[in-house]
Amino acid sequence: MTSQSGFAAIADRLEGQAIELPSWAFGNSGTRFKVFGTAGTPRSVKEKIADAATVHRFTGLAPSVALHIPWDKVDDYAALSAYAEDHGVRLGTINSNTFQDDDYKFGALTHVDAKIRQKAIDHHLECLDIMDATGSRDLKIWLADGSNYPGQADLRGRQDRLAESLATIYERLGADQRLVLEYKFFEPAFYHTDVPDWGTAYAQVTALGDRAVVCLDTGHHAPGTNIEFIVMQLLRLGKLGSFDFNSRFYADDDLIVGAADPFQLFRILFEVIRGGGYGPDSEVAFMLDQCHNVEEKIPGQIRSVLNVQEMTARALLVDSDALEAAQESGDVLGAHQVLMDAFYTDVRGDLAEWRASRGLPADPMRAYAESGYQAEIEATRVGGTQLSWT
């Protein structure tokens, strides 16, 4: 396969690819040991949106921004929406947060105390109000609920209470809204997590109804898990709602998507396409969920969406007919090679031309570096408090 002709055939399918950015990627983040601050970090939700819009301006890939409540709470969401639109982006998924209030020390939607569960439910209802105001489709729920010691918690009781709490929230969902439940293998709970795997998320959302789906965060699996298999399975079951993209070497490291294992990202995107999760007819949402602990934030986000785009192009390049033929004839090495041929194809030059032909910078990383934006925010964002996770 020559890259040239191959790329021409798939170029159109790259149109309209959208990867939602997390507002919190622009604030400071770190580990339990230390959060390093950097010059130019936003001090307001608007500044975060301005940064996200900058990523979109340089890449054309990131037309929306996910908000985290209460981190991104504002008085006037209409005004915030208008601000976003003025900057060329829109507000996207609303993420709830039930892990930073002292009341949630022993759980939120799963808590033994009905009052605390209600508080957590109410928080989600508030998120739904915000979604009504912003026009967001998705309420994404990631729960820190779990326990640290065997015996600390009644696993079964918590699972039942979780089902009940989710049902209450689901009932309030608008006709065009979705509840997206994220699972995570471990952390911050260290013995058990209430939604630790795709099976649990699947069982819970299936009990809720059609508008409840699963979010697959690529960093939230046990060592050695075949993530593309889960992608396939959730698409097959009609329950893959969205991706939180990032990458990891060991745990939920929240590194730049594609940085740790680019071939894995390729395989994931191949299964997305194979299963109908890509393109205008799919409702699968692509999002980033990453931390930029030591690298620059805006370039980190640009790098991330480019990585997804480049790998999508490679995955689109797979010669499906040749692949199927090799698979059906038991030609192990032949089938493998069809996949590798696409993976090893260097699409960077083609993509640079593709971007240029659409009025985008051929090299968004360089264009951003030369744009002066970073120097400007470092110079002007002085005083105030840099935003972070808290």
Total residues interacting with its own copies, rule: CB under 8 A: 103
> Residue written as tokens 């990202």?
265
Q: Which of residues 185-204 bind its own copies (CB under 8 A)?
A: 185-188, 190-193, 196-200, 202-203
- Residue 236 dihedral angles phi and psi, to the nearest 5°: -60, -40
Among 70-78, 174-182, 277-285, 318-326, which window interacts with its own copies (CB under 8 A)? Answer: 318-326
Among 213, 339, 351, 377, binds its own copies (CB under 8 A): 339
Neighbours of 128 (CB within 10 A): 19
Residue 152, interface with its own copies (CB under 8 A)? yes
Task: Choose between 176 and 281: whose C-beta lies nearer to its own copies.
Answer: 281
**CA 243 to CA 255: how far, in whole Å?**
15
Q: Which of residues 38-97 bind its own copies (CB under 8 A)?
A: none
**CA 314 to CA 390: how far, in whole Å?**
38
Q: Which residues contact 347 (CB under 8 A, 6 or more apart)?
A: 3, 7, 310, 313, 314, 317
Task: Choose between 77 and 198: whose C-beta lies nearer to its own copies.
Answer: 198
From the CB of 56, what's the least distance to its own copies, in Å?
19
**CA 222 to CA 246: how far, in whole Å?**
15
Residue 99, interface with its own copies (CB under 8 A)? yes
Residue 8, interface with its own copies (CB under 8 A)? no
Among 9, 86, 283, 327, binds its own copies (CB under 8 A): 327
Q: Which of residues 241-300 bind its own copies (CB under 8 A)?
A: 248-251, 253, 255-256, 259-264, 267, 271, 274-275, 293-296, 299-300
Q: Which residues contact 297 (CB under 8 A, 6 or more apart)?
A: 25, 26, 38, 41, 51
- Binding mask of the shown chain, residues 201 to 240, with x at each position contacting its own copies by CB under 8 A: -xx-----------------xxxxxx-xxx-xx-xxx---
Dihedral angle of Cα 30, 372, 286, 174, to the nearest 10 degrees:
90
Among 171, 336, 353, 378, binds its own copies (CB under 8 A): 336
Among 32-40, 63-71, 83-91, 172-180, which window interacts with its own copies (CB under 8 A)? Answer: 32-40
Residue 144, interface with its own copies (CB under 8 A)? yes
Q: Is 288 helix (H, G, I), strand (E, B) or coil?
A: strand
Q: Which residues contact 80 (CB under 8 A, 6 or more apart)?
A: 45, 46, 49, 74, 91, 134
Task: Show the tokens assigned to 34.
Answer: 């230390």
Residue 115, interface with its own copies (CB under 8 A)? no
Residue 386, interface with its own copies (CB under 8 A)? no
